[in-house]
């Protein structure tokens, strides 16, 4: 979403990140410019936790120019390779659970931004646009037959009613610090060291949102719905099982029939199976 530069000097290499009032990759889509301040506040909130080895160190922040300067983690790969690999190691899974639990257990500062503009943007892409019969986005441009596959879900009023209800809860204020976009694109791997980046969607909400998004992407990658139960049993605190399933189902569905497509190679049959799983999770 942002302009990101790697600046190399004779002493070190740093990352310079600037937010602008639009999505850098799709500059016709407006986006809140103060999202970079949310990211900075998030990193500051967890800088004294026991997961500091899994986040970049912040070097400086200039609110006037919306620039955040941070440690360069080096040549990392984001973990979107999981979609092709179709599995995740138990060690990686356990680290991801430990990191997100620590984030959720962090007491946020009293001035943590509500980040409502970013949430409203995300709300549109998660809970609204994917389920409009005509949203101006042809899924057949992604994969022939996907548009037709999506229609029963876009026209299912009971399904959409449940999604609307969960979406309203997403927009409400909670008391748990969330990453807000906890999926493989925000997970970085370097020499078996795992890092978490891009918390610009962070806000105070309910923990099942982060966990449901995580579950959704592991299910998309592996086609194994048991990751719902695995997250429930591995996460050290009590989880609302129904809410976890609802979020996971919505995230699976919106990533298959929404605008925010993933770098996945799946047949229509595989996507149909995932959509059926997702519907059952949403209506559970």
Give the pLDDT confidence score for residue 257 in this predicted structure: 98
pTM, entire model: 0.96
At 49, the pLDDT band (50, 70, 90 cuts) reads: confident
On the question of pLDDT at 48 being above 90, the answer is no
Rounded CA-CA distance 95/189 in Å is: 12
Domains in the chain, please, with CATH?
Answer: 75-282 (3.90.1200.10)
Rounded average pLDDT over 150-175: 97
Helix (H) or strand (E) holding 118: helix 116-123
Look at residues 141, 149, 140 and name the one whose alpha carbon lies nearest to residue 268.
149
Q: Summarize pLDDT for 234-254 with one digit per residue, the tens.
A: 999 999 999 999 999 999 999
Confirm if 232 and 258 have CB atoms less than 8 A apart: no
Give the pLDDT confidence score for residue 38 in this predicted structure: 96
Work out the angle at residue 168's Cα, subtended by the Cα atoms of residues 248 and 234, and round it to the nearest 5 degrees.
30
């Amino acid at each position: 979403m942002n302009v990101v530069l790697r600046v190399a000097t004779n002493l070190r290499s740093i990352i310079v990140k600037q937010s602008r009032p639009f999505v850098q990759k799709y500059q016709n889509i407006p986006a809140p410019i103060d999202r970079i301040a949310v990211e900075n506040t998030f990193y500051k909130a967890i800088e004294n936790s026991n997961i500091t080895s899994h986040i970049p160190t912040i070097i400086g922040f200039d609110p006037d120019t919306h620039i955040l300067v941070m440690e360069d983690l080096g040549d990392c790969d984001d973990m979107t390779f999981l979609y092709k690999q179709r599995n995740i190691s138990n060690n990686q899974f356990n680290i991801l659970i430990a990191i997100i639990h620590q984030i959720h257990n962090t007491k946020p500062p009293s001035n943590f931004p509500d980040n409502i503009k970013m949430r409203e943007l995300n709300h549109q892409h998660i809970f609204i646009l994917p389920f409009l019969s005509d949203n101006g986005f042809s899924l057949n441009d992604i994969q022939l037959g996907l548009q037709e596959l999506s229609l029963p879900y876009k026209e299912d009023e009971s399904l959409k009613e449940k999604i609307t209800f969960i979406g309203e809860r997403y927009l409400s204020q909670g008391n748990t610090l969330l990453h807000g976009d906890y999926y493989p694109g925000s997970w970085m791997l370097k020499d078996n060291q795992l890092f978490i980046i891009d918390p610009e969607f962070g806000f105070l909400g309910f923990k099942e949102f982060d966990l449901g998004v995580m579950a959704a992407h592991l299910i998309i990658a592996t086609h194994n719905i048991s990751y719902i139960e695995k997250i429930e049993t591995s996460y050290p605190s009590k989880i609302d099982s129904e809410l976890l399933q609802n979020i996971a189902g919505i995230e699976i569905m919106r990533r298959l029939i929404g605008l925010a497509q993933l770098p996945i190679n799946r047949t229509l049959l595989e996507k149909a199976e995932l959509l059926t799983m997702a519907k059952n999770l949403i209506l559970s």
